[in-house]
Structure 1
């Protein structure tokens, strides 16, 4: 029924047994144990990329967990609308919830297939999928510390196997069960430590308890019904997972740190630094054509203001030509209310009028043109 699983699993195990059997001998238990270990590594190597995608997907889901909580609170009474909005949010962030479960789901058929293949190594069988009769006998007679690697403390009524308690297997099986349970706990603990507390929920807390305590305890209980070869697979699988997590999590942490440094450097380059001095050889910004530098504009404004103040307070002979309300023409006449008057000397545009003499008209003194009017600075002269 599940031959599409059993044949690939047995073929990978057959290949690795041929490799290590060439080195250690085909009947050596070490060749079979290393074959099982590298069968595990082969399957996990195939699932490496899906595992990386799983970790990145879980990281994204933790990042937008606050938004998920807002949706759950907003649509607490409308489950359908809540599910619709959740799908939209996941699509916006490029997250597939099923993708995070894929590596774990794919390992289940491998475990089932290996369990079946290892239990089918029975004395007198003509073959076992890719293994012929001689290879079946080789596995049945392979012993580690005097214990057959195909035996279990209890085979639990498996077809063709005795369901009696084989306590002579316990000295090898129990240490393997304990180490496998510890490896399962450490793997789960390392994964839980990566979770964002802001994304914690009741479902998350329940799953954490299952992976941290229930699964390792299950290995201790049900490991008594696993053959030695399957316990080795479980131990190798958890050892690979722990090392893979450290490698992938470390890489993702470095990528995020590098991204933060690049963003900070970009912000620092855009923001002006207080008290920053021009670098050696750096040229000042050139003004646009027809535009005066800001310092010259400020200096001209200050000079005009000073000139206006001195002309109104102590020296009426010096008045800025720019303070006149009329336009000063080239002949030195200032227009005021439509009447032209001559000053003591001709005024040129942009310069203060010279002469400063009071013009006499019938023995009466008259102020120079522009006196008493508002200057551009807003002061009375």
Structure 2
């Protein structure tokens, strides 16, 4: 599957090298370096409309939330066929009013992945001599691949990488100090921009975060835990992995593009879909409620820790405190079980009501059709 996307990606790279080297008479080595950069820019530019759809979908969902929340509150416990169908119809009306498609935010993200993997795979194959020697890659011929492997960036071969043994570097006509002068700035820049992009992505997620949803809040907090590992992973890969200069150029260019794209599209989507007072109030209320729930949960934990610590001062209270804590945990666990069971039962009743409502609607349409005939 991924190999299929190597062909369109290689076609773009072949075009840029042909345009620069054959038409504009740029040195072949410089043309290959420019082709790597222009390849990333071209693919990312073609995918930008898909990114915009994701941004727009997320922002529109935020704008709709006060209306959707009001609908959910109105029909939350309604298990009649009429109520369930009315619930769905009102949600559809809100979606239609804002031209919102629930799948619009998911599909574009999935479509981007093969292109990114195809781009990365092509550059990796071309830059590692053992994988591309004497072979065509996509639409690139074996001769073009060999020409790419002979190209240099500031005098350093595009196929050289920091973990490469000294004797292999000598065979490529370079030295470790010369390679470090080129590779280290690229690794540092790629690390910086990737980390900055990750932070900006988290901040953008916070601006569209569904504070009423506990899972969304937990996922948001969890991703912050992974942020420190982003620069660490890139540094380890750059210093110890098979990451040639060509791939470092790809990392640097791609993350620089992502930074500019994030800032621009974020600014555009905020201007295109401003938040009204109702939405701002809904977000503030939801956030305040989530913060208060978090504080209450932390206070419960602190209370339990204090009572456990009090046993050190009053050892005779050990069994009493232990019974109290166990009882509280059992009650809390049972409350969660009851709440989940109630939620499942409500969902079941609403599903039955929905089927009944659809059945009644079909029967009504059939009767109306018969009367017309």
Question: TM-score, normalised to structure 1's length?
Answer: 0.53
**RMSD between aligned residues:** 3.9
Q: Is the 8 A contact 1:184 1:238 kept in 2?
A: yes
The match for 1:233 among 226, 232, 250 is 250
1:5 shift after superposition: 1.3
Confirm whether residue 190 of structure 1 aligns to residue 207 of structure 2: no
> What SS is found at the alignment partner of 2:28?
coil
Which residue of structure 2 lines up, in the alignment, with residue 138 of structure 1? 147
Contiguous gaps of at least 5 residues in structure 2: 77-86, 166-174, 212-216, 278-373
* Distance (whole Å) between structure 2 residues aligned to residue 54 and residue 4 of structure 1: 25
Q: Structure 1 CA distance, aligned partners of 2:92 and 2:238?
A: 39
* Equivalent residues in 2 for 1:22-41, closer than 5 Å: 22=22, 23=24, 25-28=26-29, 30-41=30-41
Please tell me whether the aligned partners of residues 17 and 31 of structure 2 are also in contact (alpha carbons under 8 angstroms).
Answer: yes
Change (3 A) 1:109 1:125: same
> Counterparts of 1:70-149 in structure 2 under 5 Å?
92-93=94-95, 95-96=100-101, 98-121=103-126, 122=129, 124-149=133-158
- 1:253 aligned residue: 270
SS of residue paired to 1:11: helix
Alignment of 1:352-363 (within 5 A): none
Structure with greater helix percent? 2
Report if aligned partners of 1:16, 1:39 keep a CA contact under 8 Å in 2: yes
Q: Give the alignment's TM-score, normalised by structure 2.
A: 0.54
Equivalents in 2 of 1:229, 1:87: separation in Å?
53
How far did 1:145 drift? 2.6
Pick closer, same or farther for the CA change 1:260–1:104 going to 2, 3 Å: closer
* Count of residue pairs brought into register by the alignment: 240
- Cα 1:60–1:255, aligned 2, differ >3 Å: closer, same or farther? closer
Per-residue CA deviations over 1:266-292 (Å, capped at 9, x if unaligned) read xxxxxxxxxxxxxxxxxxxxxxxxxxx
Are residue 220 (structure 1) and residue 235 (structure 2) matched?
yes
Higher relative contact order at CA 8 Å, sep ≥6: structure 1 or structure 2?
2
Unaligned runs of 5+ in 1: 76-84, 157-165, 262-381
Aligned mates of 1:95, 1:189 — CA distance in 2: 27
